[in-house]
Structure 1
Amino acid sequence: MAIHVKRAFKYRFCPTDAQAAELSRTFGCVRKVYNMALAARTEAWARQERVNYDQSSAMLTAWKKTEELAFLNEVSSVPLQQALRHLQGAFANFFSKRAKYPRFKSKRKSRASAEYTSSAFTFRDGRLKLAKMAGPLDIVWSRPLPEGSVPTTVTASRDAAGRWFVSLLCDDPTVKPLAATDAAVGIDVGLDHLLALSTGEKIANPRHERRDRDRLATAQRHCARKEKGSANREKARRKVARIHARITDR
């Protein structure tokens, strides 16, 4: 018996110059709206008042009408509203004592991303087109989506190494519960072998991470020698970020 679960499928994509510029603007506006809403809610919190999502949404409408923040109208409104929803969720976790107080998003350290709901994208015949864009994204389909599934939410992001990703949240009807079993096996993480099972089987350690960590150390030393603010330092920083991402993705 199949059960319906939500699964996110992440892919690399190569944006055009116009798409990269539009997404970069959207990332900046999402971060700006999130930080402004957080500041407004923090000020209200100091006055022992609470600001909910509806009040934050009304603030966003007012901000768009000002001359200083008129640029917020240039990007899709859906990612901006989603940023407010994420902030509402962060405060809900804080009030429920499941998380710390929400923090402001940093331009350099925070993840650059924007979330689109179904009203802000079209997905047809394997082609994904986001709001405010003339054409579909050039996605590298490294694996197929579940047959018959339709994305409900799309998240576009860019990592520190400058790589672009798109994550599609879908209903996956192919997931099936595992059959019950009485068998059990013990697992021991070792030094000579990656895993040793209680059945006597040993899994060899490929040592990929050790080699990558050596490369990371070398790339970090090269980056430290480059002049701050130079193009060569930026290239070296991106190389460090790529190697670090390869390690953390494992």
Structure 2
Amino acid sequence: MNKAYKYRIYPTKGQQRLLNRMLEECRWLYNRTLGYRKDAWEQEERSADWYETKRLIPVYKKTVRPTLSKVYSQVLQNVTERVDLAFKAFFRRLKNGEEPGYPRFKGYGRYDSMTYAQSGFKIDGEWLALSKVGRLWMVLHRPIEGKIKTLTIRRSSTNKWYVCFSCEIEPNILPPTDKVVGIDVGLEAFATLSTGEQIANPRFFRSEEKKLTKVQRKLSKEEKGTPQRAKRRKPVARVHERIRWKREDFAHKLSRRLVNEFGVIACAHILHQVSKDGRKGRETH
């Protein structure tokens, strides 16, 4: 099975500029690959696959975008793979009758991660050496287990940098237990267990609502496109980031407790149905 390990990294200012430029090169290649596949279908009525777009990377380096050579080759190959996965997901949703959602072009600053596949990096204690970047200090708060399959560098909305390792490990099998529980997710309470326990809704957004209102009011006063507005946008992103952290921490701790305690967990799944007269109904499974 695969397990992810996420750590905070602290690049220097020069390394941050370099990483931002590399992400911009990846964004350019993503848009170029998406446009190539789109034109191939619209103009030639053929489907360009991942292998075809991957072979175009050396051509782009020589003729169109020499700055692509500043990015590790496997990172660029992963960019074209992401476009391929986006199209596969589009056709899968289309086949299943869902909202298809055609792959979109990435605007400036909208490409926030890049992936090294099994090479181009080296771990030396709390230091991470990246090809084309250099050595980065990493907060190694827990040891990495298993075989590292991929490494992803990610930039958050608040300009924090993280590294995420996807590792192949042996599954950790918990001791068997005969305890069974059913879970019903509600509105008044976050969840109600068949044992009678009610888990209160933490409402993290409500606890941060005053702070969010304050920073959003300051943001709305600044003119769009100005450096002042960009500066005011960071505190708003910081509040949303803090809310997300609290939600993720709550969900992780709760799910971990339930998995450790019960051998079988059944969840009530509610489907919303719309009748012919437009009224919504609910069906529980």
| TM value normalised by structure 1 | 0.85
Is 2:74 the counterpart of 1:73? Answer: no
User: Which segments of 5 or more consecutive residues in structure 1 lack a partner in the other structure?
Assistant: none
Is 2:99 the counterpart of 1:102? Answer: no
3-state SS of 1:82 partner:
helix
Q: What's the offset of the Cα at 1:212?
A: 1.6
Distance change in 2, residues 1:190/1:125 (3 Å): same
The separation in 2 between residues aligned to 1:228 and 1:182, in whole angstroms, is 57
Work out the percentage of aligned pairs sharing the same amino acid.
32
2:37 to 33, 41, 46: 41
Instruction: Output one character per residue of 1:27-83: Cα deviation in whole Å (capped at 9) or x when no partner.
Output: 0111111110110110111121111222112221111111x4111112212211100
Is 2:194 the counterpart of 1:198? Answer: yes
Instruction: Output one character per residue of 1:77-122: Cα deviation in whole Å (capped at 9) or x when no partner.
Output: 22111001111222233334365332211224x3411111122111
Q: What's the offset of the Cα at 1:202?
A: 3.3
Alignment-mate amino acid for residue 206 of structure 2: R
Q: What's the offset of the Cα at 1:231?
A: 4.0
CA RMSD, Structure 1 to Structure 2 (Å) = 2.3
Contact 1:152 1:168 in 2 (8 A): yes
Q: How does 1:231-246 map to 2 (within 5 A)?
A: 231-246=227-242
Is 2:8 the counterpart of 1:12? Answer: yes
Q: Which has the higher contact order (CA 8 A, sep 6+)?
A: 1
Distance change in 2, residues 1:144/1:204 (3 Å): farther
1:218 to 210, 214, 220: 214
Alignment-mate amino acid for residue 130 of structure 2: L
Alignment-mate amino acid for residue 213 of structure 2: A
The separation in 2 between residues aligned to 1:190 and 1:196, in whole angstroms, is 10
Is 2:174 the counterpart of 1:173? Answer: no
3-state SS of 1:138 partner:
strand
**Which structure carries more strand by proportion?**
2
Alignment-mate amino acid for residue 86 of structure 1: R
Distance change in 2, residues 1:69/1:208 (3 Å): same
Residue of structure 2 equivalent to 1:32? 28
Q: What's the offset of the Cα at 1:230?
A: 4.2
3-state SS of 1:151 partner:
strand
The separation in 2 between residues aligned to 1:29 and 1:16, in whole angstroms, is 20
Alignment-mate amino acid for residue 141 of structure 1: L
Is 2:61 the counterpart of 1:61? Answer: no
How many matched pairs? 240
Residue of structure 2 equivalent to 1:116? 116
3-state SS of 2:122 partner:
strand
3-state SS of 1:119 partner:
coil
Residue of structure 1 equivalent to 2:273? none
Alignment-mate amino acid for residue 82 of structure 2: H
Alignment-mate amino acid for residue 34 of structure 1: Y
Q: How does 1:78-157 map to 2 (within 5 A)?
A: 78-96=74-92, 97=95, 100-108=101-109, 110-135=110-135, 137-146=136-145, 149-157=146-154
The separation in 2 between residues aligned to 1:42 and 1:195, in whole angstroms, is 45
Contact 1:122 1:129 in 2 (8 A): yes
3-state SS of 1:115 partner:
strand
2:160 to 149, 160, 163: 163
Q: What's the offset of the Cα at 1:144?
A: 3.2
